[in-house]
Amino acid sequence: MNNIFGFFFILLFFSIIQIVFLLFSKIIIITFIIIYFLCFFIYIHKTVYRIIIVMIPRIPIIKKKVIFIVSYFYAVYKIIIINIYTFIIIIIIVIIIIVTIIIVTIIIVTIIIVTIIIIIIIIIFMFIINSIFICTYRTSYCFYLYIFIFIFITKI
């Protein structure tokens, strides 16, 4: 009986490892997206500071702040107009990533549900077999019988 529960725990352990790897890949994709957008905003800041330093060297402080805000939006507008194809590609990539995240979560949930159902079915079969064949004397034969039933159920 202990061998069977060890077998189930090993099966559950490997499914948990698989889920952790899937979640880790999601985290890597999201960090790449965040890094890309941070680089994009740093690029906007650099262009704004270039506009302020080169174009308007000697202006009072209040006008400088207004010009900074206006030039910031102007730089965003210019970059969006110049890189419209890049934005379309980014939007497509984000949509693809969201769809893959949804699909991966559905797969993870189905893997968990299927493993739980298989474990419950095998435990029920173990108790049925224990009640039919009283396996106290020859436990090794019962263990092989459980493994055979498990392989038979998973093949179905």
pLDDT tens digits for 21-36? 666 666 776 776 777 6
Is 60 exceeded by the pLDDT of residue 56? no
Is 70 exceeded by the pLDDT of residue 121? yes
At 65 the pLDDT is 60
pLDDT tens digits for 75-100? 666 666 666 666 677 778 778 877 88
Cα–Cα dist 3/126, whole Å: 12
**Counting runs of H as helices and runs of E as strands, what totals does the chain give?**
4, 0
How many alpha carbons lie under 13 Å from residue 103 in its C-beta half-sphere? 6
Instruction: Identify the three-state secondary structure at position 135.
Output: coil
Average pLDDT over residues 6-28: 66
DSSP states of 35-88 as a string? HHHHHHHHHHHHHHHHIIIII-SS--HHHHHHHHHHHHHHHHHHHHHHTHHHHH
Angle in degrees, 0-180, between the axes of helices 139-155 and 2-50, rounded to the nearest 10: 40
